[in-house]
Amino acid sequence: MQYPSDESDPDEPAYFTSSAPSSQWHPPSRSQRRHASERDYEKDYSPPPSPKGISIPPHQLSLKRVDSIMEVISQLWNKEGAWGVWKATNATFVYSLLLQTIEQWSRGLFSAAFNVPEAAVTTGINLSAELLDTPYPWASLAVAVAAAVSAGLILAPLDLIRTKLILTPLSSTKRSLSHNLRNLPSYLCPTPLMVPTILHSLITPTVNHSTPLLLRSYLGIDPILTPTTYSISKCLSQTTELFLRLPFETILRRGQMAVLATPLYQSEDGKRLETIVDIGPYHGVLGTMWSIVLEEGGSSSLVNAKKGKWAETKGQGVEGLWRGWRVGMWGLVGMWGARALGGSGANGGEF
């Protein structure tokens, strides 16, 4: 009679033993119990296998973690060099310059049209502090917000080109700003982008301009009398503005790429628009939010820790609406760190 050995493999076929059932039962050896327990653990506690990867075009980034800033920068640098990291800098500079110019001009126009005293810069703390000393601060706030929305709508075609230059590879032809401006079918904001552009343009001026008014009117926090508390409150308000703006920015960028993919905006050779990452679908403001949270992609969550049961959840969840918040937070930390080192937060109104 052959007894099981500790060194034998329980998965090995019994080529040299009889196929007849043994008349005596023998308990499983320690190695058999160990292998069986390992197989049960792998079956019960292992997460669901990831789907097989699909071949990625050479111009696209192969990201293992889409929320990793360093991985995105590294792959852009490896694929496209230094210019890949600083794409669309000319378009961004022109857009920022024109946005401030048109916004200031629109504020003067609306102030004259609605007989609202135009806010003048009386302090050096920041742009929103100028509303503190106006006789009608809330009317001036409405004028500032309306001017920002008007500037955003006027510059929507330029913002469309800027997004295109950022998301297309450097290998694509005719990437100059002047060439793309000449090939635009219209210099007006496209109809599908009206609502997301207005919502995206509303967030920043509303939060930034209303914060000083709320702090001084309701909380008694003044930029001159309590500069430290005022600076901390402004930092918190800008963090709030970041998390309010990100979902609408995601929707706006998707809408812009959806417009660029239409036949009206296609290139002269009729080739499909190539992007460095896959672009999600655009279904309007609410439809895109619904699609991101409940339909696109999927995630695995552990529903039973004892049995190791995993459940597949469809959609990215609410976290999918706030992609890119780390980049924004690093920007805020850098900006406020520079202000703290320079001492501009406490003495911003002094020469």
Phi-psi region of 65 (alpha: psi -120 to 50; beta: other; left: phi over 0): beta
Q: Give CA torsion, residues 322, 323, 326, 328, to 10 deg.
A: -70
**Cα gap 241→202, rounded to integer Å:** 10
- pLDDT class for 26, splitting at 50, 70, 90? low
- pLDDT class for 32, splitting at 50, 70, 90? low
pTM of the model: 0.74
Chain Cα centroid distance, residue 91: 20
What is residue 158's predicted lDDT score, i.e. its pLDDT? 96
Q: Which residue type is seen at 274?
A: E
Q: What residues contact 16, with CB distance under 8 A and at least 6 apart? A: none
φ and ψ of 223, to 5 deg: -70, -20
* Helix 194-218, helix 227-260: angle, nearest 10: 170
Percent of the chain with pLDDT over 70: 72
Residue 195: exposure state from Cβ atoms within 10 A (0-12, 13-18, ≥19) = middle
CB 351 within 8 A of CB 276: no
**Cα gap 272→275, rounded to integer Å:** 10
**Cα gap 86→252, rounded to integer Å:** 21
Q: Which residue type is seen at 5?
A: S
pLDDT tens-digit series, residues 115-163: 888 765 433 334 455 566 677 888 888 999 999 999 999 999 999 999 9
Q: Which residue type is seen at 307?
A: K
pLDDT tens-digit series, residues 251-295: 999 999 999 999 888 877 667 888 888 888 999 999 999 999 887
Which of 55-64, 66-75, 230-239 has the highest average model confidence (pLDDT)? 230-239
